[in-house]
Amino acid sequence: MNRRDIGSWISGPRESLTAAGVEFGYRGERLGLPETGPGSLAGLGRRFVAIAIDWAASLLVVRLLFAELTYGSPAYGMATLAIFGFEIFVLTWMSGASFGQRLLSIQIRRLDQLAVASGSGTDGPVAGIGLAAAAFRTILLCLLIPALIWDRDGRGLHDKAAGTACVRT
C-alpha cells in the first residue's frame, strides 16, 4: 500500500475510474439535455436555494395562519411541514414548479417532456407533471433522505422514483 492507493480511496470511485480512462460526460448527457443554459439540469446550489425559499415561505404562512403556535414546538414544525408539502404538491402538480423554483427559473419535467424541452429551450412552460407523480415526489421530498441521495446526473432519488428531472428554464 502506498500514497497513491490511499489517495484514490479518499477521492472516491469517480476519480479512480476517471484516472483509468472512463468517460462520464457532463450532467444530463445521458438524458439528452444540453450541458448549460435553458433545458440543462439545474445545479444543486440553485435547487437548494429554491427549497430554502419554499421553506421560508412556509414558515411565514404558518406564522400568519397559526399565531397561537409557539415557534420550535412539535406542532409548529408539523404545521410548517404540512404547508410546505401542500405548496410543493399543488404548485408542482399544476405548474411544474414550486414558488422557490419559479423564482430561480427551475422547472420539474417528466422524462418524456425533456425531449421537447431540450430542443430549443424556448418552448415556454410545460404543464405540471401529473397528480400521481407530483404526490409521490412531494412525499419523498418531505421525507428528506431521498432528496439528499442523487445519481451522477444530480437527480435525487425522489426525482428518479417519480420519473422527473429539475431543469433550468
pLDDT tens, position by position, 20-60: 777 777 888 888 889 888 988 998 899 999 999 999 999 99
Domain of residue 140 covers 45-168
| 34 domain-assigned | no
pLDDT at 108 over 80: yes
- Residues 6 or more apart whose CB falls under 8 angstroms from that of 124 comprise none
Residue 158 contacts residue 33 (beta carbons within 8 Å): no
| 22 domain-assigned | no
| 68 domain-assigned | yes
Q: Can you give the pTM of this predicted structure?
A: 0.80
> What's the total number of domains in the chain?
1
| 107 domain-assigned | yes
Place 7 in a pLDDT band, splitting at 50, 70 and 90: low
pLDDT at 18 over 90: no
| 89 domain-assigned | yes
Residue-wise pLDDT tens digits, 60-75: 999 999 999 999 999 9
Residue 36 contacts residue 25 (beta carbons within 8 Å): no
